């Protein structure tokens, strides 16, 4: 009865007009920040925090949670429409959402994303309401060994996310883990793979890597194709598509609930990055849904539902440890914890007794914010879906300008922009050489977690940490996930003897350049790691050895069996049969072009990016934005001035107001900016 009474009191508190207005404001801010690449809810929560000083606790939580709960609603828009996820949380959504857009079903994908986000968000709120009184003993049971085992289980998902190339997936996952270890070793302070760069001392930031790996290759292919994402003739009726996507969520309601459960539970575990939730959920759907291995990655609406329902349910889960223990379940919750203390709310027993009504007003804030956010997305989706039919010369300059600014949010350093460019070129090569990109990001996200909890578990529990029941269960599941693809291959070939019979004389081709390049990179990294002390090098050496092993096996498989695999696929295609498994990534739509033409146009794209950086270094970022837009639109597409000038002005105005005035981002220095104060100070007086 006490809980039901508190639920009613919490709703009454929230329905006060001024609190509902603040909730609306938070929702609008959350959607706007979700659409803008690289900014995210953490920066938005930090921005709004000072405005809550004079508010009562319920009003402050309504504003902040309205933003936190709806940032992920705006995430999938660019991922689905342009194939360019602005944040790590929407990267998995792009795997199926973008192919649906290219097929003319962008509105359906958006409808499925919004409805699954709504259902996932409401599920997370309900789970939070139910779990608050009983969750304390469960969270206390989870220690560093369980977090380590969960990270290992998450990495094991790469075998599923790599389709018919598990060895390539494992290679890129190991590379991602090694990238996560760049910087100062937390145990000994040893500088690992920093290349004498101060920027790398604190490690690579996630945002430039994610934008480079997932956004830039799709934008580059858009320029290479020199067309829109989809022709006007293929764009479906927007409202009919939205309705169909919504119906899909109810058709696959059990998938929606399962993935929302995964998102809520993992979100409630402190220390596990929220960026990995959508990948684990996507891999779960890929393993459990009928026929998923044939259709996921090619535009299956179930892939969109799985990723979005999990992503949007995590806030309810992440709020549980924040309220019960004062242990934030995510970066956004860490800022929210500061708001708790600022308003006299002490996490712990008081939140479940003295302030129970305020606690449940937070539950209602998350639930209502999800409803409002999804409603607004539905209202404006007809316009979002039409973006896919615009010419590339109208889309690319605007999106690239925002991508640069989003990447700069990593460390607010020139190194962020160089990282964006490097990973953009690298990932574009990965895509066209058919090396899966999701394992790289998954390994990067979980790599630091794995090493940190490995040392903590050993120091605190010795060897006994491996005998804990949950650890054993998660390790067993991880082993099964890694081994299963190989067992299936052995069975498909009639045993080991059948697999060995397919080996032939080695045949080399241009696609083997990429694994050879990876082996060279691994060799250089391992050579440097050998000079470190034991504690700093033990994990990198283990992971590096695995990377070299997997890469060598993959290369050998291609060199000695590649032609047989190719002929088999051609025979299946001639019979009209689908491939048994697939390359788990966004498929390229420009394979019919000659490699020379693709390479030349790809070089032009990255040439524009380098030109943007050069202009930034000379005159600064904000002056570069209009110059870049005008130059790109006039040179690439001969767009008329009546379109070019308004586009340049509006984009620059948006950048100035949002990023310069509201977020007060300290822009990178420039030659002109540094010279002007010097010239002014030394110019002769009149």
Residue 580: pLDDT band with limits 50, 70, 90: very low
The percentage of the chain sitting over the pLDDT mark of 90, rounded to a whole number, equals 6
Arithmetic mean of pLDDT, 101-125: 83
pLDDT at 520 over 90: yes
pLDDT at 43 over 90: no
pLDDT tens per residue, range 504-516: 666 777 888 889 9
pLDDT at 237 over 60: no
**Highest mean predicted confidence (pLDDT) among 78-82, 133-137, 519-523, 621-625:** 519-523
CA distance 71 to 685: 52
**pLDDT value at residue 175:** 92
Among 146, 89, 168, which Cα is nearest to 477's? 146
**pLDDT value at residue 486:** 73
pLDDT tens per residue, range 238-266: 778 788 888 888 888 898 888 888 888 77
CA distance 420 to 2: 52
The percentage of the chain sitting over the pLDDT mark of 70, rounded to a whole number, equals 78
Q: What is the residue extent of each domain of the chain?
A: 2-574, 595-682
pLDDT at 584 over 70: no
**pLDDT value at residue 579:** 47
| Angle in degrees, CA 276, 279, 280, rounded to 5 | 85
pLDDT at 272 over 70: no
In three-state secondary structure terms, 184 is strand
CA distance 373 to 117: 9
Arithmetic mean of pLDDT, 622-647: 89
**pLDDT value at residue 422:** 92
Arithmetic mean of pLDDT, 556-569: 65
Tokens found for residue 166: 């598990």
pLDDT tens per residue, range 329-359: 566 676 677 777 777 777 766 777 777 788 8
Arithmetic mean of pLDDT, 20-40: 75
**pLDDT value at residue 118:** 84
Burial class of 495 by CB neighbour count within 10 A (0 to 12, 13 to 18, 19+): exposed
pLDDT tens per residue, range 399-448: 888 888 878 866 778 888 898 899 999 989 888 888 888 788 878 877 87
Among 318, 471, 397, 459, which Cα is nearest to 631's? 397
**pLDDT value at residue 342:** 74
**pLDDT value at residue 630:** 92
Strands 191-192 and 183-184: antiparallel
Burial 329-351 (b: 16+ CB within 10 A, else e): bbbbbbbbbebbeebebebeeeb
**pLDDT value at residue 187:** 76
pLDDT tens per residue, range 54-88: 788 888 888 888 887 777 777 777 778 777 676 66
**Highest mean predicted confidence (pLDDT) among 112-116, 497-501, 664-668:** 112-116
Residue 521: pLDDT band with limits 50, 70, 90: very high
**pLDDT value at residue 119:** 86
Q: Answer whether 259's CB lies under 8 Å from 310's CB.
A: yes
Length of the chain: 686
User: 192 pairs with which residues across the strands?
Assistant: 183
pLDDT at 382 over 60: yes
Residue 129: pLDDT band with limits 50, 70, 90: confident
Residue 577: pLDDT band with limits 50, 70, 90: very low
* Lowest-pLDDT range of 165-174, 369-378, 456-465, 511-520: 456-465
User: 191 pairs with which residues across the strands?
Assistant: 184
Among 391, 62, 7, 411, which Cα is nearest to 232's? 391
* Distance, CA of 192 to chain centre: 25
**pLDDT value at residue 674:** 63
**Highest mean predicted confidence (pLDDT) among 42-51, 465-474, 487-496:** 465-474
pLDDT tens per residue, range 155-166: 777 666 666 677
Angle 277-288/301-325 helices, nearest 10 degrees? 130
Arithmetic mean of pLDDT, 487-502: 64
> What is the secondary structure of 401-434 as a DSSP string?
HHHHHHHHTTTSSHHHHHHHHHHHHHHHHHHHTT
Averaged pLDDT of the chain: 78
Alpha-carbon torsion 184, 45, 146, 117, what sign? negative
Q: Answer whether 361's CB lies under 8 Å from 58's CB.
A: yes
Q: Backbone phi, then psi, for 183, in 5-degree steps?
A: 120, -165
Arithmetic mean of pLDDT, 498-504: 61
Residue with the larger pLDDT of the pair 45 and 374: 374
Residue 39: pLDDT band with limits 50, 70, 90: low
* Lowest-pLDDT range of 321-335, 598-612, 628-642, 645-659: 321-335
């Amino acid at each position: 009865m006490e809980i039901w009474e508190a639920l009613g009191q919490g709703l009454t508190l929230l329905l006060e007009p001024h609190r509902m207005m603040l909730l609306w404001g938070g929702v609008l801010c959350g959607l706007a920040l979700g659409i803008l690449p690289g900014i995210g809810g953490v920066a938005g929560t930090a921005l709004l925090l000072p405005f809550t000083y004079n508010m009562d606790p319920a009003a402050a939580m309504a504003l902040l949670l309205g933003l936190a709960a709806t940032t992920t609603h705006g995430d999938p828009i660019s991922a689905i429409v342009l194939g360019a996820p602005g944040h790590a949380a929407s990267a998995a959504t792009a795997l199926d959402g973008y192919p649906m857009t290219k097929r003319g079903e962008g509105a359906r994908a958006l409808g499925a994303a919004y409805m699954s986000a709504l259902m996932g968000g409401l599920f997370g709120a309900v789970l939070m309401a139910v779990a608050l009184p009983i969750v304390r003993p469960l969270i206390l049971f989870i220690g560093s060994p369980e977090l380590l085992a969960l990270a290992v289980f998450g990495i094991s998902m790469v075998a599923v996310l790599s389709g018919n190339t598990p060895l390539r997936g494992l290679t890129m996952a190991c590379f991602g883990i090694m990238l996560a270890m760049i910087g100062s070793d937390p145990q000994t302070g040893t500088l690992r793979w920093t290349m004498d760069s101060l920027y790398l001392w604190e490690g690579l930031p996630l945002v430039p890597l994610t934008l480079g790996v997932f956004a830039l290759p799709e934008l580059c292919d858009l320029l290479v194709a020199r067309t829109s994402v989809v022709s006007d003739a293929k764009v479906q009726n927007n409202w009919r598509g939205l309705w169909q996507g919504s119906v899909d969520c109810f058709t696959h309601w059990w998938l929606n609930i399962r993935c929302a459960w995964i998102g809520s539970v993992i979100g409630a575990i402190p220390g596990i990055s929220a960026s990995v939730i959508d990948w684990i959920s996507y891999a779960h759907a890929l393993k459990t849904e009928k026929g998923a291995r044939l259709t996921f990655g090619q535009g299956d609406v179930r892939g969109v539902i799985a990723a979005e329902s999990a992503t949007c349910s995590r806030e309810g889960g992440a709020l549980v440890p924040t309220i019960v223990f004062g242990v934030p379940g995510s970066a956004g919750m860490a800022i929210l914890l500061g708001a708790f203390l600022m308003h006299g709310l002490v996490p712990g027993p008081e939140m479940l007794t003295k302030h129970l009504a305020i606690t449940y007003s937070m539950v209602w804030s998350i639930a209502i914010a999800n409803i409002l956010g999804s409603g607004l997305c539905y209202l404006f989706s007809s316009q979002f879906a039409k973006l896919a039919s615009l010419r590339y010369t109208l889309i690319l300059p605007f999106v690239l300008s925002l991508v640069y600014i989003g990447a700069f949010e990593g460390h607010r350093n020139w190194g962020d922009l160089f990282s964006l460019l490097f990973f953009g070129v690298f990932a574009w090569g990965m895509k066209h050489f058919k090396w899966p990109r999701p394992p790289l990001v998954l390994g990067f996200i979980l790599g630091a977690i794995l090493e940190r909890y490995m040392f903590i578990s050993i120091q605190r529990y010795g060897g006994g940490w491996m005998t804990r029941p949950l650890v054993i269960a998660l390790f067993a599941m991880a082993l099964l996930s890694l081994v299963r693809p190989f067992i299936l291959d052995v069975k498909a070939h009639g045993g080991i003897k059948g697999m060995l019979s397919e080996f032939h004389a080695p045949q080399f081709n241009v696609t083997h350049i990429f694994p050879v390049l990876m082996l060279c990179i691994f060799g250089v990294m391992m050579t440097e790691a050998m000079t470190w002390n034991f504690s700093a090098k033990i994990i990198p050496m283990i992971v590096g050895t695995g990377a070299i092993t997997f890469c060598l096996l993959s290369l050998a498989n291609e060199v000695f069996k590649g032609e047989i695999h190719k002929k088999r696929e051609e025979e299946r295609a001639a019979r009209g049969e689908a491939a048994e498994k697939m390359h788990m990534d966004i498929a390229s739509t420009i394979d019919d072009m000659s490699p020379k033409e693709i390479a030349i146009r790809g070089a032009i794209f990255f040439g524009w990016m380098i030109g943007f950086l050069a202009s930034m270094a000379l005159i600064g970022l904000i002056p570069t934005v209009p110059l870049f837009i005008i130059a790109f639109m006039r040179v690439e597409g001969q767009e008329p001035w009546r379109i070019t000038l308004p586009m340049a002005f509006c984009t620059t105005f948006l950048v100035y107001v949002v990023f310069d005035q509201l977020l007060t981002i300290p822009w990178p220095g420039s030659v002109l900016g540094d010279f002007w104060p010097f010239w002014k100070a030394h110019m002769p007086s009149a």
